[in-house]
Amino acid sequence: MNVEIEDTFAEGFKMWISRVLITAATQEWALTSARAATGFGTSIIMSPAEAAIEKIVPPEDTIDGRPGVIIQIAHTKKKKLAKQLLARLGQCVLTCPTTAAFCAMDEYDELFKTGANLRYFGDGFEEKVEMYGRTLWKIPVMEGEFLIDSEFGAKKGVAGGNLLLIGADPEKTLQATEAAVKAIETVDYTVTTFPGGICRSGSKIGSLKYSKFMHASTNHRFCPTLIGKIDDSELPVNAKSVLEIVINGLTIDAVSKAMSEAIKAAVEVPGLIKITAANYGGELGQYQIHLKDLV
């Protein structure tokens, strides 16, 4: 392995997370609904929640024996997570042909009455039922019926696990990062919320020039085009591309494993110079995930 792994750490934060199983008549429709429900969910900096697809679930492993997809929705505020669950399941799952929605939390710290509130869409024609060993609501819709768990669990998970992959060749750097994301997809209870799991525009807190109205701005220290133009660049002189992976998960162990698998996969692709992580000196986040412990 000729890639430098910097002796630093990713700084993780506590965040409320809910895990949802969406099933449908076909895998395509389950994925269609899941993609819609997790849209505009990259970063809490501007998105109303962080959300992403965790994994595809085969029919033999779902509650109702149909193809499924598990998604995660997260927010720093418990009440805002409850609001996002209701909005996203109501607008993107209830509306999608053949779907049903189930709580996919193995354990939780809080219960939201998501289905019990969404049932009002049934305008008095909804029905409370006991099925699959759970309490569900049947909501009549034009296609037939929408089935949803009465309550959805949430717990404090971990957000902000991250890796910065630095390369001398943009194409090779992208290939290495893609390989890392695929490795993360094998780790249960974790998600990468940015498009394709990759963020090209890593940010720093605040702004050097527009501090009156910008709460976050480009992470200039890691912008290759600024090498030689700024005094505080943190990049090797031959760096041409930096891509970031941000990981959320239900536990610190899950996020750490995802980061470890990502590093192992990334270094197998020739062309990377260095792998590091973003942090705030340990002053803001509750968790420190040291890269040297992962390799």
Using the predicted structure, report yes or no on whether residue 1 has a pLDDT greater than 70.
no
Give the model's pLDDT for residue 80: 98
Strand-pairing partners, residue 17, are 74, 155
Query: Is the Cβ–Cβ distance between 38 and 53 less than 8 Å?
Result: yes
Number of C-alpha atoms within 13 angstroms, CB side, residue 61?
9
Strand ranges, E, within 122-257: 127-131, 134-141, 144-149, 152-167, 190-192, 203-205, 216-218, 241-249
Structure tokens, 59: 């029919």
pLDDT in tens, 99-152: 999 999 999 999 999 999 999 999 999 999 999 999 999 999 999 999 999 999
CA pair distance 195, 215, nearest whole angstrom: 22
Whether 16-155 and 4-12+157-293 are alike in CATH topology: the answer is yes
Give the single-character DSSP code of 49: S
pLDDT in tens, 56-108: 999 999 999 999 999 999 999 999 999 999 999 999 999 999 999 999 999 99
Q: For the chain, how big is the Rg over CA atoms in Å? A: 21
Q: Which long-range contacts (CB under 8 A, 24 or more apart) does 119-124 make?
A: 119/148, 119/150, 121/90, 121/94
Question: Residue-wise over 264-273: b if at least 16 C-beta within 10 A, else e?
Answer: ebbbebebbb
| CATH number corresponding to 16-155 | 3.30.70.520
Predicted TM-score of the model (pTM) = 0.96
Domain regions of the chain by residue span? 4-12+157-293, 16-155
Which fold does the domain 4-12+157-293 belong to in CATH?
Alpha-Beta Plaits (3.30.70)
CA pair distance 211, 7, nearest whole angstrom: 31
CA pair distance 22, 247, nearest whole angstrom: 21
CA pair distance 232, 109, nearest whole angstrom: 43
CA pair distance 24, 42, nearest whole angstrom: 25
Cα dist. 174→2, 48, 256, 266, 269 in Å? 17, 28, 22, 10, 10
Give the model's pLDDT for residue 284: 77
Give the single-character DSSP code of 220: G
Residue % of the chain over a pLDDT of 70: 100
